[in-house]
Structure 1
Amino acid sequence: GHDHDHSHPDGRIISVETDVLQKNNLLAQRNRGYFEAKSMLALNLVSSPGSGKTSILERTLNRLKKEKDIFVVEGDQQTTLDASRISATGTPVAQINTGSGCHLDAGMVNRAVKELNPPDHSLLMIENVGNLVCPALFDLGENFRVVIVSVTEGEDKPLKYPQMFMSSHICLINKTDLLPYVDFSIATLKDFIRRVNPRLECIELSAKTGEGFEAWIGWIRQNQPS
């Protein structure tokens, strides 16, 4: 008969996952304490691949680099292409290749920040691996999580990846310059966002034209610890 116990492997997998997350959260708290002690603003940028994280980052850096010390942690599974684009703005960047890993974790960020050695009152922008599933589970110690959606994606992203939208503090809706050419309703997206996280603030912008960046840059300035 079929009477042997199947519960064992699953139980073990779950406890290993819990262990990994607990270890991560301890390190995230350490990062958070470090950022707080140095009056830093740390932002964790998350999105699907191709939603324009790096382009938003480039324009943000070019707008703010004269008034702030900015440092970037660039997470990517394989290439250093994004890090090269960031370096071109003159911003110090620590590249983390996660290999098969689909997210950054607090330990990686901890090591990268030690390498960057940012001064007090600086802005740290962390570009996470392009994925809306795994990064939702891993706290990096950031002050704010910024989720980016572009109008070339489906409006149903918040319903498909509720965990990410629930754990984010602000949503950037990118590529608004393409709205005339795509079948996308910002009203529908916002309605879905409200169902998942009514407190999530949204800013519509275009990394290509710069439209909407005043609001985004204003949000960063407003949230920088004094």
Structure 2
Amino acid sequence: MCTTCGCGDPAGTRYTALRHDHSHDHSHGHHHPHDRGAGARTVPLEERVLARNDQLAAANRRLLAERGVHAVNLMSSPGSGKTTLLERTIRELGDSVPVAVVEGDQETLLDAERIRATGRPVVQINTGEGCHLDAAMLERGLRELDLAPRSLVFVENVGNLVCPALFDLGESTRVVVMSVTEGEDKPLKYPHMFRTADLVLLNKIDLLPHVEFDVARCAQQIRRINPGADVLHVSATRGAGLPEWCAWLRKRAITIYCEPEI
């Protein structure tokens, strides 16, 4: 988290709603301490950061539940194919459900521009030196979006397999995207990320003939860490597994709508 990895310049966080013709520059309103000289205070300080974040996440969760909005936190390492997956998912869902997107990156509007091309509302959050989104950032991003009742909002987190797993955003569902080009040992190396997942999407399966990747071993490792996680195989570029992924989303959303997580 921030107190150990040293990420984040509060003044450097920027919010840009691409459906508008102007940008919004804001601080995300919390301090990341960098003075770690008092080592005995590190753990209590980290606990306070997470406790404050959890309070804000609970408020986000209540707001989303009141509107019947199903929020999906997409997490992965860089280059796993999250943005391509989002583009294909939006096309696959079509007009069956309203969709909005919150994009998280350290810099650039590149991914948000790609989502805007699909015709869906999108807000880009640039975290500067920060390596994850937190609940305060998401709250500001949600304010920029006109969330339709009973809709889906995808949150594409900053590419990182460590910090995003620690920060509750108030989401309904956590999905980890992992590509076959990364190696099947990722669940063992980053167990907390996979332990918090509701679903693991194994992406780029079209490349299996060209890489050394043991699908069965990977699934075994995921289940060892998180027996309750679902695992689906997809190819965001070729479309394989996309109907199953969208069916999983619809079923999960129905469950959340019927039993809101407050």
TM superposition score normalised by structure 2: 0.82
* Residue in structure 2 matching 1:180, options 195, 209, 225: 209
* Residue in structure 2 matching 1:31, options 54, 60, 64: 60
**8 Å Cα contact 2:53/2:167 also seen in 1:** yes
Partner of 1:196: 225
* Structure 1 residues 117 and 11: CA distance shift in structure 2, 3 A: farther
Instruction: Classify the secondary structure of the residue corresponding to 1:206.
Output: coil
Counterparts of 1:11 and 1:140, CA distance in 2? 28
C-alpha deviation, 1:8, in angstroms: 7.3
Deviations 1:89-141 (A, max 9, x none): 11100100001100000011011101102021010000000000000100000
Partner of 1:60: 89
**8 Å Cα contact 2:92/2:243 also seen in 1:** no
- Say whether 1:15 aligns with 2:15: no
Partner of 1:132: 161
Counterparts of 1:19 and 1:65, CA distance in 2? 42
Seq. identity, %: 52
Q: What pairs with 1:77-226 in structure 2 (closer than 5 Å)?
A: 77-224=106-253, 225=257
Which contiguous aligned blocks of 4+ residues in structure 1 show a shift greater than 3 angstroms? none
Deviations 1:167-201 (A, max 9, x none): 11000000000000000011010011111111110
Amino acid at match of 2:44: S
Deviations 1:9-41 (A, max 9, x none): 122222221111111000000011111111111
Counterparts of 2:234 and 2:190, CA distance in 1? 21
Amino acid at match of 1:102: C
Counterparts of 2:209 and 2:109, CA distance in 1? 33
* Residue in structure 2 matching 1:76, options 105, 125, 130: 105
Counterparts of 1:94 and 1:11, CA distance in 2? 39
Instruction: Classify the secondary structure of the residue corresponding to 1:209.
Output: coil
Counterparts of 1:8 and 1:52, CA distance in 2? 39
How many correspondences in the alignment? 220
Counterparts of 2:216 and 2:38, CA distance in 1? 45
Counterparts of 2:234 and 2:162, CA distance in 1? 24
Instruction: Classify the secondary structure of the residue corresponding to 1:49.
Output: coil
Instruction: Classify the secondary structure of the residue corresponding to 1:120.
Output: coil
Counterparts of 2:247 and 2:93, CA distance in 1? 10
Amino acid at match of 1:91: R
Counterparts of 2:175 and 2:182, CA distance in 1? 17
